Amino acid sequence: MRCPKCGSGDSRVVDSRDAVNAVRRRRLCENCGNRFTTYERVETLRPLVVKRDGTREEWNRTKLLEGVRIACTKRPISSARIEELVDEVEAQVAGSGRQEILTTEIGLAVMRRLRHLDEVAYIRFASVYLRFRDVNGFLEEVERVKRPGRPADDQLQLDL
Ligand SMILES: [Zn+2]
C-alpha cells in the first residue's frame, strides 16, 4: 500500500477495525510519518443501475460517494462518516439480491440516512435526487424536515 503523500511502499498498520462490508485500516508511513486509511472490501455483486432515461450502468461507488460529499460540503460531517453512510447503502443494495436498481431508489436510501445526519446536507441531496419541479415542492420538503417529531420517513420508505 503506497503512502499517498510520499509514495513510499513502507507502511505499517496501526489500527484495524471492522466497518460495514469492509475492514478499515489506519496505516503509518515508515518513510514520512504520514497516517492514512485504507479499506479492504469484500467483492460482492452489485445490481445494475437503471437511470431515469432507462439506460443502465455499472454500480459506481465513487460516483455515489461524490454525490454525498458534495451535499455535505462545509457541513460538520467527517469523511469517515460519509464513507460509512455510503458503505451502509452499498451493503443494503448488495444485500437486496436484485439485478437492477433505480437511481431514484439509491437516492432515497441515501436521503433516509442523511436526514438523521444533517438537515442541510439532506435538503441539498434531496433537491438533486427528487428533482423538484418547482420551488414550492422544494419548500414543502424543507418544511417537512423542519417539522419536529414527525418523521417523514414513511413517505420515503423503500424496500431495497
Ligand atoms: Zn509517506
pLDDT tens digits, residue range 49-97?
998 888 999 888 898 999 999 999 999 999 999 999 999 998 888 888 8
Q: Which stretch of 4-18, 37-51, 94-108 has the lowest confidence by average pLDDT?
A: 37-51
Alpha-helical runs (H) found in 34-78? 61-71
Count how many domains the chain has. Answer: 2
Please give the C-alpha separations between residue 42 and each of 22, 25, 39, 82, in angstroms, as whole numbers. Answer: 6, 14, 10, 19
125 and 137 assigned to the same domain: yes
Indicate whether 3 belongs to any domain. no
Domain of residue 62 covers 45-156
Ligand 1 centroid to Cα of residue 11, in Å, is 8
- Distance between CA 94 and CA 47 in Å, rounded? 7
Taking the alpha carbons at both ends of the chain, their separation in whole angstroms is 35
114 and 77 assigned to the same domain: yes
Nearest to 36 by CA among 79, 90, 81: 79
Scanning the structure block, which residue is given the C-alpha cell 439480491? 97
Ligand 1 centroid to Cα of residue 61, in Å, is 26
Indicate whether 103 belongs to any domain. yes
pLDDT tens digits, residue range 93-137?
888 888 899 888 888 889 889 989 999 999 888 887 766 555 666
Ligand 1 centroid to Cα of residue 38, in Å, is 14
Ligand 1 centroid to Cα of residue 105, in Å, is 40
